[in-house]
């Protein structure tokens, strides 16, 4: 069941589920596309993430009740199958400051951590938090780690971290609480590019170890 709740007086949040699941992301992206095609009156912009879609609207043109109705009538009528594009390679130097500790706490050798992290395809679930930050899943269960108890004040752009069942790439320098295992030279955010972020939800990527 989709749930539509107000996010203040100029946005609605559509929640399609409560877990991290490719099929829920599929519904979110499908809804996003249908709304972009149909442009219900007053809808300004949308923000997809995992299992929800935020819909900003102009309260001078529409209201929450009207927009909610036009969204809810789409439930069950969107094609949640994701269009699978090609898999993007992310060249990665596995020299992150937390790699030795991750290895220790997962009872693996650093080489085995690298092999496990690099050995699969990931789905991009969300670009958010900071410009271009790319959230991907699912990380193998065995690599699941809690976030740092005390976040770093400064994580450099290109850093690759893991937290829970997710792996993520910091696109700009920012504070951060993920366990850093590597970094990439790939530029993930460029305000002069169109679009400014390298990845979008629904993209697939894999990490390629480099030395």
Judged by CB under 8 A, the residue of 196, 204, 206, 209 near other proteins is: 196
Residues between 17 and 46 that touch other proteins (CB under 8 A): 18-20, 44-46
Report the residue number, 59 or 91, with the smaller CB distance to other proteins. 59
Give the per-residue contact string, 130-169, with other proteins (x = CB under 8 A; - = no).
Answer: xxxx-x----------------------------------
**Total residues at the site for other proteins (CB under 8 A)?**
47
Among 171, 180, 181, 205, binds other proteins (CB under 8 A): 171
Q: Is 59 in the site for other proteins (CB under 8 A)?
A: yes
Stretch of 54-62, 67-75, 86-94, 138-146 lying at the interface with other proteins (CB under 8 A): 54-62
In the chain, alpha helices (H): 22-38, 64-72, 99-106, 110-118
Comparing CB distances to other proteins, the nearer of 46 and 99 is 46
Residue 18: exposed, middle, or buried by beta-carbon count in 10 A (0-12, 13-18, 19+)? exposed
List, in sequence order, every beta strand (DSSP E) within the chain: 3-6, 11-15, 43-49, 52-57, 87-93, 122-127, 134-137, 152-155, 159-163, 166-169, 174-176, 179-183, 204-210
Q: In 3-state terms, what secondary structure has residue 55? A: strand
Nearer to other proteins, 116 or 172 (CB): 172
Report 97-136 residues binding other proteins (CB under 8 A).
126-133, 135
The secondary element (H helix, E strand) that includes residue 80 is none
- Residue 58 is a binding residue for other proteins (CB under 8 A): no
| Phi/psi of residue 128, nearest 5 degrees | -175, -165
Residue pair 46/52 in contact by the 8 Å Cβ criterion: no
């Amino acid at each position: 069941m989709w749930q539509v709740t107000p996010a203040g007086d100029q946005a609605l949040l559509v929640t399609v589920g409560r877990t991290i699941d490719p099929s829920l992301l599929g519904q979110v992206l499908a809804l996003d596309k249908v709304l972009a095609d149909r442009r219900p009156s007053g809808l300004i912009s949308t923000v997809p993430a995992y299992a929800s879609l935020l819909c900003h609207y102009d309260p001078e043109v529409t209201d929450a009740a009207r927009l909610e109705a036009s969204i809810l009538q789409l439930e069950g009528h969107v094609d949640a199958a994701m269009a699978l594009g090609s898999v993007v390679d992310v060249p990665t130097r596995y020299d992150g400051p937390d790699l030795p500790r991750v290895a220790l706490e997962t009872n693996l050798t650093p080489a085995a951590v690298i092999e496990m992290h690099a050995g699969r395809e990931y789905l991009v679930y969300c670009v958010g938090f900071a410009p271009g930050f790319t959230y991907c899943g699912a990380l193998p269960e065995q690599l699941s780690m809690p976030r740092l108890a005390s976040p770093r004040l400064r994580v450099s752009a290109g850093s690759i971290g893991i937290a829970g069942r997710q792996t993520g790439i910091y696109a700009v320098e920012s504070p951060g609480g993920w366990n850093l295992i590597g970094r990439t030279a790939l530029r993930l955010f460029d305000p002069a590019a169109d679009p400014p972020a390298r990845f979008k939800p629904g993209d697939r990527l894999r990490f390629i170890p480099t030395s």
